[in-house]
Amino acid sequence: MKNSFKDAKYAFVDTDINNGYIDIESSLFALNQLEKAIEEPMQLALLIGNSGVGKSMILRNVHKKLKHQKDIHYIETPFLSENDFLSTLFSILTGELTHQDGEISFNNIIKYCNSLKGKREIIILLDEAQMYSDSILEQIRLLSDTKILKFVIVLHNINEKSILAESHFKTRIWSTIELAHSSKQEMTSYIHLKLIGTNVSSVVSCIDDGEFKLIHKYTNGNYRECNKLMFCVFELCELNSNNNMFEDLSKVFSRKIIELSALKLGLANA
């Protein structure tokens, strides 16, 4: 019984095995929309939303689902230099690390893409694209024009002054999928499914509707903040359970522990 809360807290830590994706309505809708966009003759697709709403979870899940069916590549960390970006694309296209003459230029990449017409269709999933420079984004636009490379671009929003908002870029965007913060019902389902997936369903019964409402209030429907809060909550529950040897889990989990955790994480004011 004492280990239930210990196991529960690790349900909210992303690992290679647990990538954080949960089948709730908004995530499923965005996932389906993204899969449909990939099947279309699109050049660019956007997945946008505030930090912590689940964009990376969806991107990782799309890659996991399609990697054995399509030529699809997930680039998690943004490139801060054009050379690193082009080197990675060259490796994806050719399977080689360097060009035969030692130079990996944008023109070489374009030429190679043109040589692949009718032979390959390559999908590139770009996370955290708000970190890319305008020059790299412009290269992405031109590369998408070859119809060999399809790009899914994930970012927080489209700033009016961003190159993405300019007409020559917008005309290449086939689909824009926007993720909002989760509702209280969705966050409740998210926590339920996380705990059930970690085989600690007994802990679910400890949390009543008012406590779920409080969790949603402190996290503002943000999954990243929810993960941090629930880890802290169950860590405190674990300590309380070990110290008091309660057999009834519901006596350990409380509104007060949620409030203390929110204070500790700066999600609430004293």
Answer yes or no: is pLDDT of 127 > 90. Answer: yes
173: CATH = 3.40.50.300
Asked whether residue 74 falls in the same domain as residue 122, the answer is yes
**221, amino acid identity:** G
Amino acid present at 258: I
Range of the domain at 144: 25-179
pLDDT band with cut points at 50, 70 and 90 for residue 1: very low
pLDDT in tens, 32-46: 899 999 988 878 999
Residue 51 has a pLDDT of 86
In the predicted model, what is the mean pLDDT of the chain?
Answer: 86
Query: Quick one: 171 and 53 in the same domain?
Result: yes
- Among the ranges 20-24, 104-108, 264-268, which has the highest mean pLDDT value? 264-268
Does one domain contain both 80 and 15?
Answer: no
Query: Tokens in use for 248?
Result: 């009834």
42 and 58 assigned to the same domain: yes
Do 225 and 152 belong together in one domain?
A: no
State the total domains in the chain: 2
Average pLDDT score over residue span 17-43: 78
Cβ burial, residue 130 (10 Å; 0-12/13-18/19+): middle
Per the domain annotation, does 67 fall within a domain?
yes
User: What pLDDT score was predicted for residue 184?
Assistant: 93
**Type of residue numbered 149:** L
Predicted local confidence at residue 98, as pLDDT: 64
Average pLDDT over residues 148-176: 85
Q: Which of 125, 152, 179 is the last residue of a domain?
A: 179
If phi > 0 it is left, if psi is from -120 to 50 it is alpha, else beta; for residue 11 that is: alpha
Segment 51-109, tens digit of pLDDT: 888 898 899 989 999 999 999 999 998 888 898 899 999 999 988 766 555 668 899 89
Looking at the structure, do residues 71 and 166 belong to the same domain, yes or no? yes
Question: Is the predicted pLDDT of residue 247 greater than 70, yes or no?
Answer: no
Instruction: Tell whether the model's pLDDT for residue 13 goes beyond 50.
Output: yes
Q: Are residues 134 and 146 in the same domain?
A: yes
Looking at the structure, tell me whether residues 17 and 146 fall in a common domain. Answer: no
Is the domain of 207 the same as that of 167?
A: no
- E strands, 11-131, are 44-49, 71-75, 122-126
Domain final residue pick, 163, 179, 195: 179
For residue 26, what pLDDT band results from cuts at 50, 70 and 90? confident
CB 37 within 8 Å of CB 270? no
Burial of 156 (0-12, 13-18, 19+ CB in 10 A): middle
- Same domain for 156 and 175? yes
Q: Is residue 269 part of a domain?
A: no
Confidence of residue 160 (pLDDT cuts 50, 70, 90): low
What pLDDT does 17 receive? 45
Residues 104 and 193 in one domain: no
What's the pLDDT tens digit per position in 195-242? 888 888 788 888 999 999 999 999 999 999 999 999 999 999 888 777
